[in-house]
Structure 1
Amino acid sequence: MNAKLLSREVNKKTGAPVIGVFAPCDPRIDQQSRERSINIVKNASEMLANKILQPDGTPVEIVYSDILIDAESQADQVARQFKEAGVNILVCVPDTWSFPQLTTLSLLAHFPKDTPINFTTGNSAPRPGVVYTHATAGAIAQFGKLTHINVGRWPDVGQSPQMDAETLENLVDWCYAAITFMGLRGRRIVIFGHDSMGMETALAHVLETRNQFGLEITRLDMKLLADMLQKESYDKAELKKLRTWLEGHAKGRIELPELEKDSELLDKSLALYLIVRDLMVELDAVGGGFMSQLEWGSDARAIQQPVADIMESLFNSSFDHNGPKPITPFATEADAQALLTQLFMTWLSGGNPPLFMDFRKVWEKQDLLDFAEKNQLEVDHSETWLEKGFVDGVNSGSASFDWAAKPGATEHEIMSKISFPKAVDYFYYLGNSVHFISPGGIEGVAARLAFSSLSGMFSMVWDEAKTVELPNDFAQAIRQTANPTWPHTFVVPKYATMTEYKQYAPSNHFHLTWGLKPARLQFWMDFTNVLSVTPWQSRPTFVEGTDRPVPLLYLINGGELNTKRLKLGR
């Protein structure tokens, strides 16, 4: 046989997450029960179809096999079917008893050990698929592989049962974590510049990120961007379109005190977006970060360059001058761990916009009462934000435009709330910032990735959180205490006290993504071996209906922390 030259055409779906649904069965069981099992596989697959979205809105492919796995030969057949279809995530929906080693364990032998597998079953007695689930999950845990089980509900009788809404929701949450884990493998993020301002928490841990998440980090010097700006290496017609679009939304709110000079600087900052966007497309990057400080725009020894605030905001937004677009998580100050946090949470939420913030001032109740008295401001003592306090989240870059309004707002509604004042003085007034105050009532997860050289492991410090809306006079006064030209989001954690929040922040930056459920984050941390850090005294170890059930693998190996260390050989 001669060597075969491959076509230069590449299927862009290769390596994308694909979910394969299957079921084992017992060859001794009656034909009616076998037909019921096949219908459960089909129904589960159809219920998942179009429910799991990648950040660009593309539904994840769901495939299934109507071959029931009775023994090794069927396990081999289904595994080969799945591998040919690109399956890299497994969902088993057993409805009958069967034999673990002859069925799912034989199928798993065809896949890498870290392939995500979920067992979703009804809690039925007639043909106990739940018994099979416990037996098989127990066997898998013994040889050190992670699995999750979802003992839910579907009717005990009937030929075509469907899982109930809660069972489906739990499976969907797991699937989002699995596609984030698998879908980002082999992908790439881009960091322009090195770790800015000597921020050790912003370091790109290249080897650790590659080993733990399968992500590559491309590092490019900011000189390339400065040169491309000077050479005008961008589409000038598109720059005009972008400027016209921005002015159409906010012409009266774009501050240009020295019209000719400031207009030119604004154009340069917008051109920067086009340049970086095109470079990221060329590199097929899923996220980016830009150092800026100090060399780019605030070192007096160098040629000053325009601020990148609008560029960073555009990447993190769901639209630009060309209309709706996928979120491309982007971090200011080349904060690689911020970028990773935003990237993972955007994928886990199905493409929702991230918010990059300084962990600026923590306002406790007494601080607010003293501030109100000093500034002669009235307060309603029943307000949550007064009783518990809040964090003023504020940063000059990376503030997604979407966070100026509530989820579901139109582009016009969002942009009507945003202004573009001149940048603060330590950027030498070279361009425009982005300013808004986020509305209250937006709920999600606030989190921050951290790394420790002692353990060689990443951790995620997180809590559920929501935004609060202050009376306008109070909000404006708070805004003036920090940077009035920057975005402000007032964040209240669900479980952390303000004392805990102040003491346990792993960095000066933190990140908020709306619509992200804790269970999805927890499933993902299981897959990636990231430590879950919730040191809040009032948070229970397990919150039923919110948290994912602890995997059996952890229970038989001394707990989550010990198991994750064992998996890394530490």
Structure 2
Amino acid sequence: MARIGLIAVSDGREHVHRRNTGFIQSTVDAFAAALAAAGHEVVSGGQVATNTTATAAARSVAAAGVDLTVLYYAVWAFPHFTMLAADATPGPLLLVASTDPAEPGLVGMLAAGGALDQIGRTHTRLWGAPGDAGLIEDIGAQARAAAAVAALRGSTFGRFGGRPMGMNTAVANTDQWMRTFGVDVEEIDQYELVRRAESGDLAKEAGRGREWLERYATVHYDGDRLTPELLERQLRLYLAVRDVAAERHLDFSGIKAQPELTEHFATADVAEALLNDPYDWNGPKPVHVTATEADMDGALTMQLLHLITGTPVLFADVRHYHPDRDVWDLCNSGQHATWFAARSDDPAENLAKVHLYPEVFFFPAGGASVQHIAAPGEMTLARLSRLDGEYRLQLMLGQFERFDESTTAELVSRSTPEWPHAFARLDVPAATFLSGFGANHVHAVPGDRRREVRVAAARIGVRLEEWRR
């Protein structure tokens, strides 16, 4: 969860503040307890009733490295205390008013918020009873988004290779990334992955990985496009990316793969799936968000969604629309993390639904594609893209569907059955989506996380383009 700073703002008249102290404290205690019960860490800045304590409390909370600072109004509060605290708090600011009619907390929040508006200090306002579940969830969304944006700034993206197959939407301006998102880009030649993968140092570990996949997934060796040797080559590629990421302190990555690796070495499908998984044969591990085709804006979207949710993020092409079912087939080589097969923390449960098929004619170097049907459930889909050089974040809600076996077989046979599929019903008309979506790649996480994504877009300063039917 998030780290939240909490400062209660009071009346500047000493005799009034003295009268209010107990009421403020009891209200703040209930509010802090509700936040803690929701899993957040609360850093208290105490009560503010003078100019000097307003500045000191805000500086103290900021020094604690909070993701979000909450200024709380249980009573009427002198607005200039908020102004001083806001000036001493460089991070995201949320004003929250208690709605107890016994005291004018709403009045205090509105006076403070109006003063901040006058100087252009960005902030958000919420209100409700201290333990109101809706209020606590709204604050959680604000805090999670703030934490994600803060974590994104100062991070490094590793790009293995360059522009894939002429895809301009996969290449971004590194200056713009630093200015807008605070993300640096480390350029790495794909030969570094080949060199490490062929060195022999990773052979034993790759053999263990192959045995693990053979034990839990269904591997369809054909003696040509997919052999144990080719599968181990793909696993050595996975280990090579992990080693480079650790050595160069890469926070997330993208692998070009096409056409050089896919024609002369092996596909990156297995590597990309496992990098995006929260486990491998050695047990649980951190997700290392990795985009296929070195899609920079795709990787950036995925990393933002991962930082918000903590879950793996789906990467897919928008492959086909079935108008008779109002369902989209989201499918892209072997990129889908195996976690999406069952969305379970137990890799055996996910891999039981995974097939490793010999790669198709697009990729003559061979290797396995990681095939499964994504588990059903509500999903949030998003994509950062550029319109006339400026970033926008396109957002929509969707539902992943799973059909009976015969229907599924018929649907996947219409495109590429060897690749993973997610059948999605989107909360946007097909004509709207196809006329305005800014890329061929889309990204998704489980549940309705639109609140956090909206807040994140506002924090970053990119335009939100949200679609609904």
Shorter-normalised TM range: over 0.9
Kept in 2, the 8 Å contact 1:19–1:61? The answer is yes
The equivalent of 2:236 in structure 1 is: 271
Kept in 2, the 8 Å contact 1:41–1:64? The answer is no
Bigger mean CA offset, 85-94 vs 323-332: 85-94
Match of 2:48 among 69, 90, 101: 69
Kept in 2, the 8 Å contact 1:312–1:332? The answer is yes
Structure (1 or 2) with the greater strand fraction = 2
Match of 1:363 among 318, 322, 341: 322
Match of 1:314 among 274, 287, 295: 274
- 1:260: how far off? 11
Distance change >3 Å, CA 50–CA 327, structure 1 → 2: farther
Match of 1:337 among 286, 297, 308: 297
Match of 1:391 among 313, 320, 328: 328
- 1:428: how far off? 0.8
- 1:325: how far off? 2.4
The equivalent of 1:151 in structure 2 is: 127
Kept in 2, the 8 Å contact 1:42–1:64? The answer is no
Query: What is the alpha-carbon distance in structure 2 between the residues aligned to residue 245 and residue 118 of structure 1?
Result: 48
The normalised TM-score by structure 2 is 0.94
Query: What is the alpha-carbon distance in structure 2 between the residues aligned to residue 219 and residue 533 of structure 1?
Result: 30
- 1:50: how far off? 7.2
Query: What is the alpha-carbon distance in structure 2 between the residues aligned to residue 535 and residue 174 of structure 1?
Result: 21
The equivalent of 1:126 in structure 2 is: 102
- 1:535: how far off? 4.8
**1:152-171 matched pairs, under 5 angstroms:** 152-154=128-130, 163-171=131-139
Match of 1:401 among 335, 338, 348: 338
Number of residues paired by the alignment?
Answer: 467
- 1:200: how far off? 0.6
- 1:169: how far off? 0.8
Kept in 2, the 8 Å contact 1:195–1:204? The answer is no
The normalised TM-score by structure 1 is 0.78
Show CA shifts across 1:491-531 (max 9, x none): 0112x112222222211111111124211111111101111
Kept in 1, the 8 Å contact 2:10–2:73? The answer is yes
- 1:270: how far off? 0.4
Kept in 1, the 8 Å contact 2:400–2:422? The answer is yes
The equivalent of 2:61 in structure 1 is: 82
Instruction: Say which SS state the counterpart of residue 333 (structure 2) adopts.
Output: coil
**What RMSD, in angstroms, separates the aligned Cα atoms of the two structures?**
2.1
The equivalent of 2:397 in structure 1 is: 464
Query: What is the alpha-carbon distance in structure 2 between the residues aligned to residue 306 and residue 229 of structure 1?
Result: 11
The yes-or-no answer on 1:182 pairing with 2:179 is no
Match of 1:107 among 63, 85, 101: 85
Structure 2 unmatched runs, 5+ = none
Bigger mean CA offset, 128-137 vs 103-112: 103-112
Instruction: Say which SS state the counterpart of residue 65 (structure 1) adopts.
Output: strand
Show CA shifts across 1:406-465 (max 9, x none): x4463222110001000111211521100011233x11211111113x3x4211112100
Kept in 1, the 8 Å contact 2:226–2:358? The answer is no
Query: What is the alpha-carbon distance in structure 1 between the residues aligned to residue 177 and residue 334 of structure 2?
Result: 24
Query: What is the alpha-carbon distance in structure 2 between the residues aligned to residue 414 and residue 104 of structure 1?
Result: 50
Query: What is the alpha-carbon distance in structure 1 between the residues aligned to residue 383 and residue 391 of structure 2?
Result: 10
- 1:62: how far off? 3.2
**1:96-495 matched pairs, under 5 angstroms:** 96-101=75-80, 103-112=81-90, 115-154=91-130, 163-234=131-202, 236-250=203-217, 253-258=218-223, 262-298=227-263, 304-349=264-309, 351-365=310-324, 386=325, 389-405=326-342, 407-408=343-344, 410-440=346-376, 442-452=377-387, 454=388, 456-494=389-427
Show CA shifts across 1:389-409 (max 9, x none): 11100011320111111x446
- 1:70: how far off? 1.0
Instruction: Say which SS state the counterpart of residue 212 (structure 1) adopts.
Output: helix
Distance change >3 Å, CA 241–CA 109, structure 1 → 2: same
- 1:223: how far off? 1.2
Kept in 2, the 8 Å contact 1:356–1:397? The answer is no
Show CA shifts across 1:174-228 (max 9, x none): 1111111112211112111112111011113211111111111211110111111
Query: What is the alpha-carbon distance in structure 1 between the residues aligned to residue 15 and residue 385 of structure 2?
Result: 52
Please tell me the residue identity of whatever aligns with 2:265. Q
The equivalent of 1:37 in structure 2 is: 24
Query: What is the alpha-carbon distance in structure 1 between the residues aligned to residue 368 and residue 84 of structure 2?
Result: 60
Kept in 1, the 8 Å contact 2:59–2:89? The answer is no
- 1:61: how far off? 4.6
Please tell me the residue identity of whatever aligns with 1:397. G
Kept in 1, the 8 Å contact 2:341–2:354? The answer is yes
Kept in 1, the 8 Å contact 2:261–2:365? The answer is no
Instruction: Say which SS state the counterpart of residue 225 (structure 1) adopts.
Output: helix
- 1:239: how far off? 2.2
Please tell me the residue identity of whatever aligns with 1:123. T
Kept in 2, the 8 Å contact 1:17–1:183? The answer is no
The equivalent of 1:551 in structure 2 is: none
Kept in 2, the 8 Å contact 1:319–1:325? The answer is yes
Query: What is the alpha-carbon distance in structure 1 between the residues aligned to residue 69 and residue 329 of structure 2?
Result: 42
Please tell me the residue identity of whatever aligns with 1:218. E
Query: What is the alpha-carbon distance in structure 2 between the residues aligned to residue 192 and residue 51 of structure 1?
Result: 40
Kept in 1, the 8 Å contact 2:384–2:392? The answer is yes
Distance change >3 Å, CA 261–CA 470, structure 1 → 2: closer
Distance change >3 Å, CA 32–CA 401, structure 1 → 2: farther
Kept in 2, the 8 Å contact 1:352–1:515? The answer is no
Identity of aligned residues (%): 27
Kept in 1, the 8 Å contact 2:225–2:367? The answer is no
- 1:36: how far off? 2.8
The yes-or-no answer on 1:517 pairing with 2:454 is no
Bigger mean CA offset, 278-287 vs 196-205: 278-287
Structure 1 unmatched runs, 5+ = 1-15, 53-59, 155-162, 299-303, 366-385, 539-570
Distance change >3 Å, CA 467–CA 260, structure 1 → 2: closer
Please tell me the residue identity of whatever aligns with 1:248. R
Query: What is the alpha-carbon distance in structure 2 between the residues aligned to residue 337 and residue 313 of structure 1?
Result: 18
The equivalent of 1:542 in structure 2 is: none
Distance change >3 Å, CA 18–CA 393, structure 1 → 2: same
Bigger mean CA offset, 142-151 vs 82-91: 82-91
Instruction: Say which SS state the counterpart of residue 433 (structure 1) adopts.
Output: strand
Instruction: Say which SS state the counterpart of residue 257 (structure 1) adopts.
Output: coil
Query: What is the alpha-carbon distance in structure 1 between the residues aligned to residue 210 and residue 439 of structure 2?
Result: 35
